Amino acid sequence: MKGKKQNLDKVLQGLERSELSTIPSVLVRLLSVSRDPKAHAGDLATICEMDKSTSARLLRAANSVYFATENRDRVDSLKDAIVRIGFGVAEEIILSSTVSSLLKSSSTIADYSANALWRHSIAVAIASRLLYNSRFSSGNLDAFIMGLLHDLGIAIEHQFLFEDGFQPALLQRFEKQSLLSDEEEACMGVTHQEVGRAVAMKWNFPKHLVDAIGHHHDMDIQDDRNLAAIHVIRLAEYLCFIQHQGYSDFSEAYASILLESREVLSINDESLQAISDQMAREMANLESLGWFSELRLKMR
């Protein structure tokens, strides 16, 4: 079995030859636009114009019944689409479409598949945004990004370490109903938290995002604000687990531990249920837009 250093080196060297290098550049540009008070729809349109699938998703969303009515004309330009659906929603669509490039396999191992991980990542992103907005401040793209990318390491392992222990780790987690991180450590000597953190650092992600990706299970960080964000992600993962939203890398026993984050965040049962219901509605809308059936996964 290869050790931690060998597997991390394989991942980082593989990334240098991979088309995934576009992800950090899009993220940086998106965050820059998000934080610019003078930014307008044209700035976002410029970012997504380079990718046909992203443009198609924006237009489809803008012309869906969720955003349009019988009395509203069809929009055909990206700028008009962004104006109709709103800046925040457009940012999330662009980001999600970019990250979907990580998922390129139709392999199914036990309860895991790239498509199931995609659904889980989107659901955690939505729930994280809802939880963060209810507890802290609204209009912040970071909570969505942290939720979307928290399991970045799993997607990376699938692409670069599939034959180096990732597959048996998935099988053992399913058979033992354990925590995937524990099985990854046993099979590969490295966990998806460590892989994700190494990739996030290579891509120069901001520290709060590195912490979320690298410590959402162990919570071994000192920054209180970043720790609060991780509690948001953990509670979002719990909501996704009980709603069966895609692949969860843990069992029911661990889910009960995640629920403890509700007390830390001071979110009562009524608020948590309202957030859970809203997440379900948003996921149903994305389902109707074909987000989870349109993902064309290449065979390994």
For residue 152, the domain's CATH number is 1.10.3210.10
Specify if 220 maps to a domain.
yes
Q: Whole domain around residue 92: which residue ranges?
A: 40-102
Residues 184 and 220 in one domain: yes
**3-state SS, residue 295:** coil
Distance CA 73, CA 126 (A): 28
Q: Which pLDDT value is given to residue 68?
A: 66
Query: What's the rounded Cα separation, in Å, for the pair 64 and 275?
Result: 23
171 and 255 share one domain: yes
Express each pLDDT in 132-184 by its tens digit. Answer: 999 887 667 789 999 999 999 999 999 999 999 999 999 999 999 999 999 99
Query: In this structure, are 87 and 115 located in the same domain?
Result: no
| pLDDT number for residue 111 | 94
Q: Which residues pair with 41 in a beta bridge?
A: none
- How far is Cα 195 from Cα 163, in angstroms, rounded to an integer? 16
Confidence of residue 299 (pLDDT cuts 50, 70, 90): very low
Round to whole Å and give the CA distance between 172 and 266: 35
Q: How far is CA 180 from CA 9, 33, 106, 153, 244, in A?
A: 21, 36, 20, 12, 17
CA distances in angstroms from 26 to 47, 51, 136, 141, 213, listed in the order given: 7, 11, 26, 14, 18
Query: Which of these, 194, 190, 201, lies nearest to 164 by C-alpha position?
Result: 190
pLDDT digits (tens, 9 = 90+) for 40-52: 888 889 888 877 8
Q: What is the pLDDT of residue 139?
A: 64
Domain total in the chain: 2
- Residue 240 included in any domain: yes
User: 20-24, 92-96, 201-205: lowest mean pLDDT where?
Assistant: 20-24
Residue 1: predicted pLDDT: 60
Predicted local distance difference test score (pLDDT) of residue 295: 54
On whether both 145 and 16 belong to a single domain, the answer is yes
Q: What's the whole-model pTM score?
A: 0.91
Say if 73 falls within a structural domain.
Answer: yes
Average confidence (pLDDT) over 60-86: 83
**Mean pLDDT, to the nearest integer, of 214-232?**
91
Query: Where is 109: in which H helix or E strand?
Result: strand 108-109
